[in-house]
């Protein structure tokens, strides 16, 4: 049977990085895309950029959609606008793109088996209506975390959407997803932010060193500080939405830093070498 996204218009709520990119790709595939945005200025710019077939600030725009993607920031996803809830077509398959799945599942449970919690793991440093770009999802993981009662046909409809965009589909329990992203996505943001903050506190303590730090920082510093210098709103929402798993990840990280510091303190260079060799051996497993 033809995929749902081909048979009926696809709704997108929010045209930031993820929503805008979805709109561009889906239209390129021939889909009809109805987008709902909050502010008239966003609607106007989204129309100029051609992010959807129809862009409106009226929730009624979603009326004929068979599948609606809630591409909202985590805070708005967890406390949805009642007008949005009222406008969601009662038969439509629903999915979200939130980076934490436990709280999303809890918040949207009332919508029943047609809601499929999902998380396309694609990001850039950009946000907002200018951020959407073609081909953002290609070869990126798109994780779904179905509940026991999730409708298999709804799950399949979301899978067909994700795979049409070139994403790598993956299913797991919400709690596994949240613990995994705490380690490989949220922890890196905090680890990386800590590096920038440590440089800042050094600069404050020793203002004469500050210009040298900035002058000598090289590609290693640029890479290690990249995600920590990213969108602060996203970083905060990740930590807030996934607090327990993030604290557990920070606990593991603190132990690792303690171990390294102790080896340097005790001048146990052979053991430090061994630990860094382990890191070198581990890393390729994490690169797709």
- Pair type for strands 93-96 and 115-116: parallel
* Closest by Cα among 102, 180, 138 to 29: 138
- Tell me: does residue 58 bind a copy of itself (CB under 8 A): no
> Is beta strand 67-70 parallel, antiparallel or unpaired with respect to 168-171?
unpaired
Query: Is the CB of 60 or the CB of 232 nearer to a copy of itself?
Result: 232
CB of 13 to a copy of itself, least distance (A): 24
| CB closer to a copy of itself, 29 vs 172 | 172
Q: 129: which 2 tokens?
A: 């209506």
Angle in degrees, 0-180, between the axes of helices 187-205 and 243-265, rounded to the nearest 10: 50
Least distance between a copy of itself and beta carbon 104 (Å): 16
Strand ranges (E), 97-147:
115-116, 118-120, 141-144
Select the span of 1-9, 32-40, 157-165, 246-254 touching a copy of itself (CB under 8 A). Answer: 246-254
Q: Which of 2, 90, 91, 288 binds a copy of itself (CB under 8 A)?
A: 288
Count of residues engaged in binding a copy of itself, rule: CB under 8 A: 95
CB of 128 to a copy of itself, least distance (A): 14
Measured from the CB of residue 229, what is the shortest distance to a copy of itself in angstroms?
A: 3
Q: Which of residues 152-211 bind a copy of itself (CB under 8 A)?
A: 170, 172, 176-177, 179-181, 183-185, 187-202, 206, 208-209
**Token pair of 126, please?**
């950009």
| 84 binding a copy of itself? (CB under 8 A) | no
Q: Please state, in angstroms and as integers, the Cα–Cα distance from residue 49 to each residue in 62, 163, 185, following that order.
A: 20, 24, 30
Identify the residue whose tokens are 């640029």: 222
> Comparing C-alpha atoms, which of 33, 24, 16, 111 is closest to residue 67?
33
Q: Between 111 and 276, whose beta carbon lies closer to a copy of itself?
A: 276
Residue 57 and residue 44: Cα distance in Å, rounded?
10
Nearest distance from residue 245's CB to a copy of itself, in Å? 10
Footprint on residues 18-57 left by a copy of itself (CB under 8 A):
none
- Per CB under 8 A, the segment of 18-26, 104-112, 129-137, 255-263 that binds a copy of itself is 255-263
Contact between 148 and 136 (Cβ < 8 Å): no
Q: How far is the CB of 8 from a copy of itself (least distance, A)?
A: 30
Of residues 221-240, those binding a copy of itself (CB under 8 A): 221-233, 235-236, 239-240
Give the three-class secondary structure for 35.
strand
Residue 40 or 128 with smaller CB distance to a copy of itself: 128
Site for a copy of itself in 118-157 (CB under 8 A): 121-123, 140-141, 143
Name the residue nearer to a copy of itself (CB basis): 41 or 269.
Answer: 269
For residue 256, state whether it binds a copy of itself (rule: CB under 8 A): yes
Which residue number, 29 or 272, has a Cβ lying nearer to a copy of itself?
272
Contacts of 287 (CB under 8 A, 6+ apart): none
Alpha helices in 206-242, H assignment, sequence order: 210-216, 219-225, 232-241
Q: What whole-number distance in Å separates Cα of residue 171 and Cα of residue 251?
A: 27
């Amino acid at each position: 049977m033809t995929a749902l996204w081909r048979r009926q218009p696809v709704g997108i709520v929010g045209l930031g990085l993820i929503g805008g990119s979805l709109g561009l790709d889906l239209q390129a595939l021939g889909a009809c895309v109805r987008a709902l945005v909050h502010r008239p200025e966003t609607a106007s710019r989204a129309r100029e950029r051609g992010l959807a077939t129809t862009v409106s600030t009226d929730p009624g725009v979603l009326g004929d959609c068979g599948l609606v993607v809630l591409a909202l920031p985590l805070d708005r996803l967890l406390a949805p606008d009642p007008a949005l809830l009222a406008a969601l077509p009662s038969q439509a398959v629903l999915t979200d793109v939130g980076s934490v799945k436990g709280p999303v599942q809890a918040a949207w449970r009332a919508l029943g088996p047609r809601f499929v919690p999902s998380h396309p793991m694609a990001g850039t440093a950009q946000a907002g209506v200018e951020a959407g770009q073609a081909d953002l999802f290609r070869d990126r993981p798109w994780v779904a975390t179905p509940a026991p009662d999730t409708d298999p046909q709804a799950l399949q409809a979301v899978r067909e959407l994700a795979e049409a965009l070139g994403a790598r589909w993956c299913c797991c329990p919400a709690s596994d997803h949240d613990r995994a992203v705490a380690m490989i996505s949220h922890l890196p943001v905090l680890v990386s932010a800590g590096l920038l903050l440590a440089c800042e506190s050094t600069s404050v303590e020793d203002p004469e060193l500050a210009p040298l730090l900035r002058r000598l920082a090289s590609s290693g510093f640029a890479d290690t500080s990249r995600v920590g210098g990213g969108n602060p709103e996203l970083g905060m929402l990740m930590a807030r939405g996934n607090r327990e798993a993030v604290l557990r990840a920070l606990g593991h990280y603190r132990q690792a830093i303690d171990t390294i510091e102790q080896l340097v303190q005790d001048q146990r260079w052979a053991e430090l070498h061994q630990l860094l060799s382990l890191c070198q051996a581990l890393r390729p497993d994490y690169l797709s």
